[in-house]
Amino acid sequence: MKKCCILMAAVLATAALCAPVLPSVAAEAETEPVVGFWSTEEGVLERPIASGTTETYAESDRKWQGLPTIAITPGGRMWCAWQTGDAIEGSEGPNNYDVMYYSDDNGKTWSKEYMIWDVPDESIRLADPRLFYDQFGKLWLVLIRGGLKGAYALEIINPDCEDPAANLEMGEPVSWMKAPPAHRPTILSNGYWITPVEVDTDAQQTYICRPNNEAGKYPWTTTTTQPAVTSFPDEKTFGESQILELEDGSLMMLSRLPRTCGGGMEISYSYDYGTSWTPYKADNGIPYITPSSKFHIQRLESGAILMITHATTADREQLAAYLSYDDGKTYPYMMMLDDTDIRGNWRDFGVSYPEAAAEQGEHGEIYIVYDAGRYGLKEIRMCVVTEEDIKAGRPVSEYCRMREQISKLGEYLDYVDVKEDYEQYITVEPGTDKSEILSQLPSSVTLVATDGSELCLEGEWECLEYSKNDVGRYTFEFSEKVTGKAQDLYSLLKVSVTVADDSGETTDPEDPGKDPDNPDEPSEPNGSGWIVWAAVGGGIALIAVAAAVTVAILKKKNSAERKK
């Protein structure tokens, strides 16, 4: 067992670390050494990442950051890792590397010191990492070699240790597979691990691991004889597929599509633990959509299925959480996690690449991380929600915390409160005129920033999609927006209006979102429920969804909490 500050296999080409060298692990494919060290080591933050660049491992030199992963230890410590580095995000970005931080106060604050993972070969980057707890209680850090060149895994031996920068121990790097996984593995009911790999997205294969924990052997092999064939072979470039085991033992594999193809997501099924897969099927309805971006799905402790994806195919915005209690056939509950406004390119302001920790809190808390404005805001954010919050479509539990910033490097001023007294969540009966709603909203909104500065905006509220006789949720937006080097962090300039009948239902209580002609199939889009669809640029865009969600329910009531 070696400390994290030890060289895992070799010395960085550009700057040697004073530590013992560990042997590399034999693998099927050619591999490169992995190096792990702490930011607190002397000289690390002044060290160039590679030859020919002045960029260092310091936070201030990061050109972008995103693609986070999270895990929670038995002792309650949180570990969060993500990818960062130079201005080129893809495989051509040789100066990209991974970092990992921790929190000991339930994610309210995060460590100033951080782990850095890199490879000495400057032609290879480390892509988005994965944190994975197996059924034996082992926490793994999976590091992806960019350019579809495989993956390493390292066991974090004592993740709850005191003073991790001095005492954290790691196992030797193991080459898991020669093809990179898109998500952390799914642990099946038979104890096997399964994951799709990012090699041939036109004919998706899966890899199986039959772990032998006593012998310390974790071999990955593919048993796929019939891969999942895409419906769009000429257009699909990324899969980032993920697998969920259903209650009957069958496997459902979801895969990313371009936004103009079949709602942006397609689904395949296996009835023999991943040996053969049905052809992918697109156009599966809400919430099986995405604007050509990554999604996340998992089963919660309650047995419910949690789906985190974008509530639109238009762009990387409107990140939402959905709940299903019938094994993924319908998703009657939805909560907007982050509907940050996009100004121009999503890379500067979009929200994307969510992941929920496999472990929930003692009160059922679900910890969700994602990136916000990879190149502009440069934030890694976290939402903490419960099933109660998602069912309500807004923060209602005492444990709910929205849009917390794990890392904030874009230096944008955050507006976090308003001086006017108006509700951000309004519920009305069917037949309520728009004018009645507008009468409750101010024509002047004064935003308050974290530094105490104020911004007064004059304008009006509008929701073109509002239909007073159709139950559902609608978003009213203020005409004036925040501009410049600032952001409306909690979407204070948006108000959620729910049209509900006497029972409080916003969907058909007997058949929420089901297709009456195919009740066993996932729900298809419709115009009379809690979503409204429209054609946008040849694709399908969700234009009216559960509303702008923020940290609090009422502006003034919770302003003190928002400023903490």
Residue 447: both structure tokens together: 């935003």
Q: Is residue 270 part of a domain?
A: no
Query: Which residue type, as a one-letter code, is found at position 442?
Result: P
Domain final residue pick, 158, 180, 202: 180
> For residue 296, what are the CA distances in angstroms to 23, 285, 366?
35, 16, 13
Q: Is residue 22 part of a domain?
A: yes
Q: Is residue 322 part of a domain?
A: no
Q: Is residue 461 part of a domain?
A: yes
Which of these ranges, 224-228, 234-238, 414-418, 518-522, has the smallest mean pLDDT? 518-522
Question: How far is Cα 309 from Cα 105, in angstroms, rounded to an integer?
Answer: 27
Q: pLDDT tens across 287-339, in order?
A: 999 999 999 999 999 999 999 999 999 999 999 999 999 999 999 999 999 99
Q: Is residue 258 part of a domain?
A: no
pLDDT-based confidence at residue 236 (cuts at 50, 70, 90):
very high
> For residue 50, what are the CA distances in angstroms to 30, 98, 113, 285, 412?
22, 15, 21, 46, 29
**Residue 133 structural domain:** 1-180
Q: pLDDT tens across 126-179, in order?
A: 888 999 999 999 999 999 987 777 898 999 999 999 999 999 999 998 888 888
Q: Is residue 338 part of a domain?
A: no
Residue 153: both structure tokens together: 């895994």
Q: Is residue 207 part of a domain?
A: no
Domain final residue pick, 133, 151, 180: 180
Q: Is residue 427 part of a domain?
A: yes
DSSP at 59: G
With 90 as the cut, is the pLDDT of residue 344 above it? no
Which of these ranges, 263-272, 430-439, 503-512, has the smallest mean pLDDT? 503-512
Question: How far is Cα 305 from Cα 154, in angstroms, rounded to an integer?
Answer: 29
- Taking a C-beta distance cutoff of 8 angstroms, is the pair 304, 325 a contact? yes
Domain final residue pick, 180, 199, 219: 180
The rounded mean pLDDT for the chain is 85
Question: How far is Cα 27 from Cα 93, in angstroms, rounded to an integer?
Answer: 25
Number of structural domains the chain divides into: 2
